[in-house]
Amino acid sequence: LNGSWQALLLRAMVRKKGSFILCGAFLFVAWNALLLLYLWGRPPIGRLGEGAGPSKVVGGGNLAGEVMRLAEEVEVQLEKQKELLKQIESHRAQWARQKDVGKREAGGGKSLKEVEQKTPAMEQTKAEGKQKKPTEKLVATTTSEAKIGLTKGTGTAENKLELTSSSSPQVVIPVLVIACDRVTVKRSLDRLIQYRLSAPLHPIIVSQDCGHADTARVIRSYGEQLTHISQPDLSDIRVRPEHRKFQGYYKIDDLEVAPDFFEYFRALYPILRDDSSLWCVSAWNDNGRDALVDPAKAHVLHRTDFFPGLGWMLTRDLWAELEPKWPTAFWDDWMRQPEQRRERSCVRPEISRTITFGRKGVSLGQFFDQYLRYIKLNTEFVPFTKQDLTYLLREKYDEKFIIEVYSAPLVRIEELQGGKLREPGPYRVQYSSRDSFKVFARNLGAMDDLKSGVPRTGYRGVVSFLYRGRRVYLAPPEGWTQYDTSWS
């Protein structure tokens, strides 16, 4: 099959090259024919004046001058032909470059796969949801380089974003929002339209899964401000019997974005593109509750080994890598497996750029009331595109991070809780096992779960957050090398 395609491609290239040569030859011959007609149409050299009187033969000197003038005109015409050939050659080089770009993109994956969106996709994921691959897909341009996904839940509520052309100074970041049967999608769309920097640079696509008429009317009310597509497969999501209680997690369209949401992703696109140790940029901080973040550091960004979801961006190449093996359910935890993560990290903010406002769900609002309602959404516009974010590149970041963490005084959790420490911090609390991590995290107010050994927001095993106004590093012993995948 590959040989057949290669043969077809070769024939197409030969035909294209032959067409180009014939076109150039035709232009060259046509120009010379026009020149010849022009010379033939000139008055005879021996005719003087412009009247119709009798002609007289001019002298030898005049004839020589006329010949010289004619030769000069021919030379000018030849120069014009030379310019024409140069232009043809330059266009030929440009076409060849475009053909090479097309080959690279065709080889790099599937011409930007269809927005099932992750970015720019915007994905909305919960701890356990389900991703049903849409049967209708929106094809992105072959110049797209990355996707952003706003994710809440693990379901079909996968929103993706596409970034185009790394060579273009103005990267296009489409936003795909996955909707279902909640008219409150209006709140999400209002904020996206309000905060987007440019409609051409950030087209919004809403993919509706459920065929809910009222929700469809809300989406269509935005007219040309967005594109509305309908999921043709409205059948129930097939999950194992023990997971049926989680089917509702995919019906989520209740994320709100911060004023600098688009600014954040636009600024981080070059970092994601250039650092091969990164595989996503997320708008979400799993330990983003009001008491655990520093309100004075809205501009601070971190690396994390834990895949956060809830508004994330990935490259086109990564999507080409993941799409062929994309799971039918619970894709967020699938992303956290070592086989997918492959020791790559994400960027996350100190203060979240997304929150969920949807209390209604399969957990009957319990998880929302206990945790999600306290996540702090950034309200301050940070001009990230004007900042130097190269400190997030792995070599620079790791060197400073390790020094900062392991030079912090090692304290016991009782000292933190007892209020006996006088210095402003930071402080380090050390864990040595799965159980000790979970106990310390729970008692300090941080998330205590691990996925394939990686704690939420963890980087090199370290979880960073505020406790009673002091920076705390919940860290493994110095010299940490890898995660223990049995810690889950």
Please identify every residue annotated as catalytic. 332
Task: For residues 164 and 397, give the distance between their C-alpha atoms in angstroms, rounded to a whole number.
Answer: 27
Which two three-digit tokens encode residue 120?
């720019």
Which two three-digit tokens encode residue 96?
């060849």
Task: For residues 250 and 88, give the distance between their C-alpha atoms in angstroms, rounded to a whole number.
Answer: 55
Which two three-digit tokens encode residue 267?
């600024």
**Cis amide linkage into residue 426, ω under 30° from 0:** yes
| Residue 485 CA to its chain's centroid (Å) | 29
Report the half-sphere exposure of 474 (CA within 13 A, side-chain side).
30
Beta strands in 265-323 (DSSP E): 278-282, 301-304, 312-315
User: Rounded to whole angstroms, what are the CA distances from 159 to 118, 174, 357?
Assistant: 5, 10, 17
Task: For residues 282 and 124, give the distance between their C-alpha atoms in angstroms, rounded to a whole number.
Answer: 11
Total Cβ atoms within 10 A of residue 409: 11
Cβ pair 141, 135 in contact under 8 A:
no
Give the strand order in the sheet containing 204-208. Answer: 175-179, 204-208, 227-230
Which two three-digit tokens encode residue 89?
């050659």
In order, the DSSP letters of 47-68 are: --SSSSS---PPPHHHHHHHHH
Q: Which residue's entry shows tokens 């919004």?
A: 204
**Cis amide linkage into residue 44, ω under 30° from 0:** no
- Please give the DSSP secondary-structure letter assigned to residue 123: -
Pure H helices in 314-390:
316-322, 331-335, 338-341, 366-370
SS3 392: helix
Task: For residues 6 and 107, give the distance between their C-alpha atoms in angstroms, rounded to a whole number.
Answer: 12
Sign of the Cα torsion 408, 409, 414, 418 reads negative
